[in-house]
Amino acid sequence: MKKGLPDVAWRWALGWLLALALGSGPVSADGRPTLLVMGDSLSAAYGIEADAGWVSLLQARLDGKARVVNASISGETSSGGAARLPELLGQHDPDIVLLELGGNDGLRGLPPGQFQANMRRMVEASREAGAEVLLLGIDIPPNYGRAYRDAFTGVYRRLADDFDLALVPFLLEGVALDDNLMQDDGIHPTAAAQPMILDTVWPELAPLLEENGLTLAKAQG
């Protein structure tokens, strides 16, 4: 009996390690699609309560039908996002990646070509990981000049055309020019604006969710 104990213990240890390894992998084994939001302060609920942000409202709207991972960080750039994304893809195995980056690149005057290269890296990495991509476009203030703004915002359209991606041209449509919906800094939306932002995203996101097996109430969006 004593000679058999080490073998039993070894088998138990192997089984435990295997279970632990499986448990630390992708958490979408329950069949729900996983959404990964890669954004900056606009998706990180800057200046408002976290549960009031549009990503939290999206999670509430989905009501447990999908898993939402918000990997957004205030101040994030396309370069930072491109560096972080591969690990996040491996950790969460998302079905849909929402890319909401570019605002900080534009405010820093990053050359549009470099911005496009960073975004292209993220789109390609997401596609290679088996995820669909939704681009969430951002605009920058008029004082940066029409030529730069056009070149910058044109990146989203070019990527959408090149990769046949769903695109929200401007995340803050109907919000950015309304002082009542913007915080005092004139850059970040208030809590009252968050449902509008979600309603801007929803028409492009809903078809992707349905493609991934979700049955959505017709009243939504």
* Catalytic positions: 41, 185, 188
Catalogue the E-assigned strands of 24-153. 34-39, 67-70, 96-100, 132-136
Query: Which 8-state DSSP code applies to residue 68?
Result: E
CA torsion, ordered 167, 169, 171, 173, to nearest 10 deg: -140
3-class state of residue 57 by DSSP: helix
C-alpha separations of 52 from 183, 187, 196 in Å: 14, 17, 12
Distance CA 149, CA 106 (A): 8
Distance CA 191, CA 155 (A): 28
Looking at the chain, how many residues does it have? Answer: 221
Q: Residue 134: beta bridge partners?
A: 98, 166
3-class state of residue 105 by DSSP: helix
Give residue 135's identity as a one-letter amino acid code. Answer: L
CA angle 165, 67, 105 (to 5 degrees): 45
